[in-house]
Amino acid sequence: MSFSSFGNKFTRHSGITQLMDDLNEGIRGGDDILMLGGGNPASIPEIEMLFKQKLTELNESGALIDALGNYDGPQGKDTFLSALAALFKDLYGWNISSKNIALTNGSQNAFFYLFNLFAGKYNDGSHKKVLFPLAPEYIGYADATLDDEVFVAAKPNIEELENGLFKYHVDFEHLEVGDDIGLMCISRPTNPTGNVVTDEELTKLDTIAKAKGIPLIIDNAYGTPFPNIIFEDVTPIWNDNIILCLSLSKLGLPGARCGIVVAKEETITALSNLSGIIALSPGSIGPELALPFIQDKSIISISENIVKPFYQQRAMNAVKLLQEQITVPGFRIHKPEGAIFLWLWFKDLPITCEALYQRLKQKGVLIVPGHYFFPGLEQEWQHTHECIRMNYSQKTEDVEKGIAIIAAEINAIYAEHNG
């Protein structure tokens, strides 16, 4: 059986496919697999109770059956769009309406639409690319375009901090934004590293994008105002040159598959047309369930007072355990500033991070090797093979067991290498 060019591209092995296969394998594997690799959010009892109560209310009122039994428009649920626009207007003073927001079947769906809208082959014969101004970046971006050779990434500046931590910064001195760039994309907080670009860095990127006449996508899946898994003080920004992407997944609803895009009306119209052709409409359950929390603005207090402190405490505990148990001198952790991952850097790692992934998998621990998180980085860089991503948000006992196995394996690898 032969496939088209499209079929060959989107059926080949990819990092995101491996990640999701591992996630499914971990779920099926039960207690035998320690899931420190995937992006599944934590089970937070208070959040689950809120959603259970709301589902009961929606079921009793008939709203749940209405949502299940009817299509929304290709832009998404009207009431949800209007409520969200009002929330952003009230919080930040943004001049937006429901015409500036579209829903998609998850953020991955949104980025497939957006990358292919602004990058790839143009009718005039040009070939536009996506620039990631701060690598490493999200694993799921890597294969989300119809055309090949679409991504360009910029190496970061690395600032070594105290207490075994480090932080990535945008290297503006060497950042090149050529005429072949169709858009820039940055996540804040960043998956995989937990990095939060500063307000100053974001403002500079916005200025560069405007000067080049290209959009700046901000992937805000973990950011403020919800789910607010962000541990730094930041100022959210939006204008008609920024495409802001949010999600309900990390609030605790990954299965609802609800991505949110805030952009100028022209972009939203394009997304709606794509949605109608490819998916008819986005799913209804996530927006229906989250709508009351948007309307009464309780989603803000839920995110600030329940979600954020839960993850921040988990992150600090994981850092403490890792630093206590991994004794090699070249071990560093990216400063945890948000998201649900820790980014571990093993300087001069004697084996590749892919080999480390396989060794840990054999011992029942799933992490994600770091080299997948550098889409578009053209030059070879040893650093990409020295890092791994670890999800710290799973059950406390699983994280503790997983860290103990990771530490023992790393310590043994360096001991073997050093004789």
Question: What's residue 25's pLDDT?
Answer: 59
157-215 pLDDT, tens digit per residue, is: 999 999 999 999 999 999 999 999 999 999 999 999 999 999 999 999 999 999 999 99
Question: What's residue 148's pLDDT?
Answer: 87
- Residue pair 338/386 in contact (Cβ under 8 Å)? The answer is no
Burial 313-336 (b: 16+ CB within 10 A, else e): ebbeebbebbbebbebeebbbbbb
- pTM for the structure as a whole: 0.94
Paired tokens of 85: 């626009």
Question: What's residue 374's pLDDT?
Answer: 96
pLDDT category at 27 given cuts 50, 70, 90 is: very low
In the chain, the domains with their CATH numbers are: 5-47+302-413 (3.90.1150.10), 70-298 (3.40.640.10)
Residue range 81-107: mean pLDDT, rounded? 97
Asked whether the predicted pLDDT for residue 23 surpasses 70, the reply is: no
- Residue pair 249/275 in contact (Cβ under 8 Å)? The answer is no
Which residues are CB-neighbours of 152 under 8 A, at least 6 positions away? 129, 130, 131, 132, 181, 376, 378
Three-state SS sequence of 50-66:
HHHHHHHHHHHHCHHHH
Question: What's residue 18's pLDDT?
Answer: 61
Bridge partner residues of 152 (DSSP)? 131
Alpha carbons 325 and 344: distance in angstroms, whole number: 13
249-303 pLDDT, tens digit per residue, is: 999 999 999 999 999 999 999 999 999 999 999 999 999 999 999 999 999 999 9
Bridge partner residues of 184 (DSSP)? 131, 216
3-21 pLDDT, tens digit per residue, is: 887 888 777 766 566 656 6
Lowest-confidence segment of 146-150, 373-377, 409-413 by average pLDDT: 146-150
Q: What is the largest CA-CA distance in the chain?
A: 69
Average pLDDT in the chain:
94
Q: Which burial class, exposed, middle or buried, applies to 69 when counting CB atoms under 10 A from its CB (0-12, 13-18, 19+)?
A: exposed
Residue 181 main-chain phi, psi, to 5 deg: -90, 125
